[in-house]
Amino acid sequence: MPAFNPRFNPLVEKLSPPPVPSVAAWGRAYDGSRGPLIDLSQAVPGYPAHPDMLKLLGETASSTTFTGYGPIEGETELRRVYAEHVSEVYGASLGLENIHITSGCNQAFVCAAMTVAGPGSTVLMTEPFYFNHETTLAMLGIKTAFVPCAAENGFLPDLVGIEAAITPEVRALALVSPNNPTGAIYPPSLLEAIFKLCREKGIWLILDETYRDFMPAAGPAKGGMAPHTLFSLDGWQETLIDLYSFSKSFCIPGHRLGAITAGAAAVQQIAKIMDNLQICAPRAAQGAVAKALPILADWREENRQEIGRRANALKAVMRAANDWKLDAIGAYFAFVRHPFPGKGSAEVAEKLAREAGIICIPGAYFGESQQNYLRFAFANADVPTIALLEERLKNFSLS
């Protein structure tokens, strides 16, 4: 088989192989000498799904109610319950017609991107970026442009940088908050300013809030602030497409369930895309999550607090770990500066996996300029496991 087969779609062939499996392979080469492997690579909650969630999934999956095709936009009951939920989270008024269920949040991004951008148009992203967003756009023939986010600014983009990057070809700005890979949480005031800039410029704002439920501060249901006010601003239906994942919050990524909140006209476009992509998201999990969403509110709040404890544990570790620097930490992820400037992040990450038994994602996977960084999905590991990092990082050397 030749290395390059001219009969494959070049947009797909030139994509790198998926990063997560290659990182896992480094971990398999670890000999266990430093203790158990610590997996901080793919974002997977390090605690199991709630027993009630599993029970509901078993009930719906074994029922003939969900074996047939369902509505393209999603189960009516889940759309209704989720619309109520986001209305509460954002203090806004959202209905069934604003919700489209997808098979995970990656698919939500595919749908959002295709809704607003075709081959040859441009979607603006922040850098560092979530790699699957970048490869999704590349394989669709959608061009990308990047707004750099600097460590000294907490990896937040600035308005001047965004405005400068909005050329006439740009159809949308895609953001992730809480951010993947840096963990950075975009303040509501920044999101509002960015939204208003997008609205003024006539481009869409695609906002991926997969990690929304893991904010350090409690949400409105517990007396806290909303993640942002965008759903209450004029013209949000023509500007904002908001993405969410049930995978992390309910510990069920294997069931593949996500959601889009958007204007009714955008939802109608998304339904045409989803019909082609896979008719409808898997139904049994939709039926189960519709019931679990209200029931498991307190459990999700406990998990949010637990992930806060894990963040604190990582902060303590990093203060003690000599030349390793925690340049950003937020909901779920930390962006860690390794002490080997000039060395490639993949080289560091591979050796860290093979010799220290820590798997994480090299910074360069989120943008070539991120070679000095590693992404730690710290939420995967419990506090005692995170404490093990200190000795391993201190004793690690590249030579």
Residues 157-186 that bind a second copy (CB under 8 A): 171
Does 205 interact with a second copy (rule: CB under 8 A)?
no
Does 118 interact with a second copy (rule: CB under 8 A)?
yes
Does 234 interact with a second copy (rule: CB under 8 A)?
no
Shortest Å, Cβ 35 to a second copy: 22
- As a whole number of angstroms, the distance between CA 306 and CA 170 comes to 40
Does 13 interact with a second copy (rule: CB under 8 A)?
yes
- As a whole number of angstroms, the distance between CA 199 and CA 172 comes to 10
**Cβ atoms of residues 27 and 40 within 8 Å:** no
Does 69 interact with a second copy (rule: CB under 8 A)?
yes
What is residue 381's DSSP assignment? S
Other beta carbons within 10 angstroms of residue 111's beta carbon come to 26
| Out of 37, 197, 226, 271, the residue judged to bind a second copy by CB under 8 A | 271
| Out of 76, 132, 305, 312, the residue judged to bind a second copy by CB under 8 A | 132
Give whichever of 107 and 126 is closer to a second copy, judged by the CB atom: 107
* Per-residue interface string for the shown chain with a second copy, residues 277-306, x marking contact by CB under 8 A: xxxxxxxxx--x------------------
* Per-residue interface string for the shown chain with a second copy, residues 342-371, x marking contact by CB under 8 A: ------------------------------
Does 36 interact with a second copy (rule: CB under 8 A)?
no
Long-range contacts of 218-221 (CB under 8 A, 24+ apart): 218/301, 218/304, 219/89, 220/88, 220/89, 220/90, 220/91, 221/88, 221/89, 221/297, 221/301
Does 197 interact with a second copy (rule: CB under 8 A)?
no
Does 395 interact with a second copy (rule: CB under 8 A)?
no
Shortest Å, Cβ 40 to a second copy: 15
- As a whole number of angstroms, the distance between CA 372 and CA 363 comes to 7
Stretch that binds a second copy, among 115-123, 184-192, 325-333, 362-370 (CB under 8 A): 115-123
Give whichever of 42 and 312 is closer to a second copy, judged by the CB atom: 42
**Cβ atoms of residues 117 and 273 within 8 Å:** no
Element (H, E) at 208: strand 204-208
Give whichever of 63 and 369 is closer to a second copy, judged by the CB atom: 63
Residue 331's alpha-carbon distances to 8, 194, 249, in angstroms, are 39, 21, 12
Does 100 interact with a second copy (rule: CB under 8 A)?
no
- As a whole number of angstroms, the distance between CA 131 and CA 357 comes to 23
User: What spatial distance separates the first Cα and last Cα of the chain, rounded to whole Å?
Assistant: 36
Stretch that binds a second copy, among 106-114, 149-157, 331-339, 383-391 (CB under 8 A): 106-114
- As a whole number of angstroms, the distance between CA 9 and CA 248 comes to 33
The residue type found at 303 is N
| Out of 74, 96, 115, 175, the residue judged to bind a second copy by CB under 8 A | 115
Does 275 interact with a second copy (rule: CB under 8 A)?
yes
